[in-house]
Amino acid sequence: SQKIEQNSEALNIQEGKTATLTCNYTNYSPAYLQWYRQDPGRGPVFLLLIRENEKEKRKERLKVTFDTTLKQSLFHITASQPADSATYLCALVRNDMRFGAGTRLTVKP
Amino acid sequence: EAQVTQNPRYLITVTGKKLTVTCSQNMNHEYMSWYRQDPGLGLRQIYYSMNVEVTDKGDVPEGYKVSRKEKRNFPLILESPSPNQTSLYFCASSLWRGNEKLFFGSGTQLSVL
């Protein structure tokens, strides 16, 4: 069956460091992959999309990579700030859209 | 302001009492969808609609109904709620299915006693 795993449930890092979140999948061939940010008590907000023929995408301090051989996407936040603390969800899209359970990131001052 | 509006924000009800959660979007989106979010399980799709009068089941449709009589509205109906439907519910829309991003509402926290 299809499975999407996002590294750990929670990730704690120090302000200024790079946060790296992982999204692994099995039994699925996404055409593209999206990353969303979710704050407590709010709906997810779209951040970035990367297509299967793209290796890397950047937006300001965010970088996403997509390796279809490893079946993995990495989501990086450089120069992290406490305001980046949130839960980050990956979503895989082919004929439908499937979400991972999310990783809760805490950036400590 | 472009948005997806869900109501109510919080709802406590009892088993078997019919309820409706409303969802409205002002972006003229073709596609709308309902998800439930439970700890450790992520977002799971309940129902979706590709356009007016077109709806289809997602992964967890049992116990839910939807309708799409107008493009902007997509209500979620629980005819006989049960405690296992206690969850956080999100409505979402996009320009068309497979479009680049979903716009989510703020969520409805439902508790069924």
Binary contact (B104, A89; C-beta < 8 A): no
What digits encode the pLDDT tens for the residues A8-63? 778 999 999 999 999 999 988 888 899 999 999 899 999 999 998 999 999 999 99
Residue B85's SS3 state is: helix
Nearest chain A residue to B101 by CA distance is A46
| Higher pLDDT among residues A13 and A7, named by residue | A13
Q: Could you tell me which of A29, A23, A71, A16 has the C-alpha nearest to residue A47?
A: A23
pLDDT at residue B1, as a whole number: 86
Q: Which is it for the CA torsion B47, B38, A26, B101, positive or negative?
A: positive
Instruction: Band the pLDDT of A3: cuts 50, 70, 90.
Output: confident
Instruction: Band the pLDDT of B49: cuts 50, 70, 90.
Output: very high
pLDDT at residue B98, as a whole number: 63
Instruction: Return the bridge partners of A12, or none.
Output: A106
Q: From chain B, which residues contact A within 8 Å (Cβ)? A: 4, 35, 40-45, 90, 92, 98, 100-107
Binary contact (B4, A102; C-beta < 8 A): no
| Mutate which: B101, B103, B106, vs A, most A CBs within 10 A | B101
**Secondary structure of chain A: what % helix, strand, coil (to 5)?**
5, 60, 40
Chain B closest-CA separation from residue A35 CA (Å) = 9
Nearest chain B residue to A9 by CA distance is B40
Mean pLDDT value of segment B70-90 = 97
Out of B44, B45, B107, closest to residue A43 by CB: B107
pLDDT at residue B43, as a whole number: 92
Size of interface A-B (CB pairs under 8 A): 45
- The Cα–Cα gap between B8 and B10 comes to 5
Residues 6+ away with beta carbon under 8 Å from A109: A15, A82
Task: Give A60-82 as a 3 state SS string.
Answer: CCEEEEEECCCCEEEEEECCCCH
pLDDT at residue B99, as a whole number: 63
Instruction: Band the pLDDT of A94: cuts 50, 70, 90.
Output: confident
Cα–Cα distances in Å, from B101 out to A11, A45, B40? 25, 9, 23
